[in-house]
Amino acid sequence: MKRIFAIVLVLLLVFSTAACAKTAGPAKGKESDWEIVVVPKDATNPWFVRMDVGVKEYAKESGLNVYQKGTPEIDATLQSQLIQDLIAAKVDAICVVPVDPGSLEPVLKQARDKGIIVIAHEGAPLTNVDYDIEAFSNDQYGAFIMDNLAESMGEEGLYTTMVAHVTNASHNEWADGGVKRQQEKYPNMTLLEAEPRVESEDNGDIAYQTAKELFKKYPDLKGIMGTSSYDAPGVARAIQELGLEGKVFTSGTGMPADNAELLKAGAVKALTLWDPALAGKAMAALAVKMLRGEEIKDPVDLGVEGYTNLKFKEGSSTVLEGEGWIVINAENVDSFGF
C-alpha cells in the first residue's frame, strides 16, 4: 500500500515538473499561473507603500498573481538577495526599482538567463533588463523641478543639487536635467561650483544636517534642488530653524500627505511628483504584455494614466518614458488621497 502510494506520488511529481517545463519561457502557459513580483527599494518608505497600492489595484483589476515584495531596509545587498530568492522560486516576471543599478546587473542577468522577464523603474542605465519604465524623461522631470525652484528663487541666485546617493541613477539624471534647464533658461542663476551635488542618503535627518552646513559655509546660497522624497522636507526644516524662510528655497519630490504641513506653512512652495501607484501598475502591465507575447512598439499604451503614450528614450531600445508628473502645492495637497 505504502509503495503504491509512493509510486503515485513520484508519478505525480514527474508529471507536474514536466508540465512546468512546458510552461517555461515567456508568452506561454495559463495566465493564472503567472507570478509577477514587484521589488521596490524597501518596504516601508511611503513612496513604495503607495506603489504597493497600485500593484494591488492592478492585481485586483486583472485577476492575475501580481504582488509587491520589499526588503526591510534600503540596502543594495539585501535587494539583490531578494531577487536571487525570486529567481530560485521561478517567478515569471520581476519588476524592480533598483537601489544601486550597477550592483544589481549580475543578478538581473541571471534572472534573464533563466527566462524571467525583467522590468525596471528608475533604472535607466541598466543593461540586463527587458525594459525600463520612466514616469517621464528624467531630463524633462529635472527641468520641471528646476522650473519650480527658479520660480520661488525669483529666477536668480546661487543654488546646488541634492541626491540620495551620488550613485543613484535617476536622481542624478534629474539633477543633471535641472542644471541643464537652468543653463538654458535662467541665466541669472548659478550652480555652486564647490559643492555641485550633495547627498542626503535617503534620510531626512542627514538632509537637514547637510543643508545646515551648506547654508553656513555658503551664505550666498539661495536654493537647493532636492530629488529624493526626504530631501525637501529635511532642507525645509533647516531653513525654518536657521531663520531663512523667504530668503532661501528648496524644491523636490515629495508625498502629499507627508508634506501637507510643510506646504501649508509655506516652508516649501511646491513639490513635484509622479504617482508611484501608477508606476507600479505600469510595470506590471508591461510585464503582462510581454508574457502575453505582444509586440512592444513605440508608442506603447499600457492603459495606465500617464503611461498611454510611452516613447523610447533617445538612443535607447530599453528605456520607455511617459508623461506622468504632477505638481503639489498648498492648494491641491489634500486632494490626492495619499
Partner 1 sequence: MTKFVKNLTQRNETYIFIVIVVLSLMIQFRSGQFFTSNNIVDQLSALIVPGLFALGAFMVIVSGGVDVSCPALASLSMYATTRILVDINYQGGIFLPIIMSLFFGAILGAINGVLIASFNLPPLIVTLGTSSVFKGIMQGVLGSVQIPVIPRGMSSFGAASLFIAKNPQTGLTSRMPVAFMALVIVLIIVYFFLQRTMYGRGLYAVGGNEISAHRAGFNVWMIKFLLYVGVGMISSLAGLIRVCMMTQAHPTNMLGMEMMVIAGVVLGGTAITGGAGSLTGCMLGTILIVAVQNSLILLGIPTFWQGLFLGLLILVGMGVSALQVTRATKVKGPMIKGAQS
What is the contact surface with partner 1 in residues (CB under 8 A)? 42-46, 49, 72-74, 166, 194-195, 197-199, 203-205, 208-210, 212-217, 219, 230, 233, 237, 241-244, 255, 257-261
b/e per residue 189-202 (b: at least 16 CB within 10 A): bbbbeebebbbbeb
Nearer to partner 1, 13 or 166 (CB): 166
Nearer to partner 1, 66 or 211 (CB): 211
CB-CB contact of 101 with 123 (8 Å)? yes
State yes or no: cis peptide before 299, omega within 30 of 0: yes
Nearer to partner 1, 196 or 299 (CB): 196
Q: Report in angstroms how near the CB of residue 293 gets to partner 1 at its nearest.
A: 37
The Cα–Cα gap between 107 and 77 comes to 11
> Are residues 105 and 127 in contact, defined by beta-carbon separation less than 8 angstroms?
yes
Enumerate residues 6+ apart whose C-beta is below 8 A from 207: 162, 200, 226, 228, 230, 231, 233, 234, 235, 238
Q: How far is the CB of 215 from partner 1 (least distance, A)?
A: 6
DSSP β-bridge partners for residue 160: 224
State which residue, 10 or 265, has the beta carbon closest to partner 1: 265
Which grid coordinates belong to 104? 544589481
Nearer to partner 1, 110 or 167 (CB): 167
**Measured from the CB of residue 314, what is the shortest distance to partner 1 in angstroms?**
28
Least distance to partner 1 from the beta carbon of 12, Å?
A: 34
- Compute the least distance from the CB of residue 267 to partner 1, in Å: 11
Host H or E run for residue 119 = strand 117-121
Give 77-101 as a DSSP string: HHHHHHHHHHHHTT-SEEEE--SSH
Q: What is the 8-class DSSP label of residue 250?
A: E
Of 165 and 313, the one with the shorter C-beta distance to partner 1 is 165
Least CB distance from residue 270 to partner 1, whole Å? 17
CB of 219 to partner 1, least distance (A): 5
Query: Nearer Cβ to partner 1, position 66 or 164?
Result: 164
Choice between 193 and 314, CB closer to partner 1: 193
Q: Which element (helix H / strand E) includes 102?
A: helix 101-113
What's the min distance (Å) between Cβ of 218 and partner 1? Answer: 9
Contact 27, 252 (CB under 8 A): no
CA–CA dist 8, 60 (Å, integer) = 37
Q: Which residues lie closer than 8 Å to 77 by C-beta, 6 or more apart?
A: 103
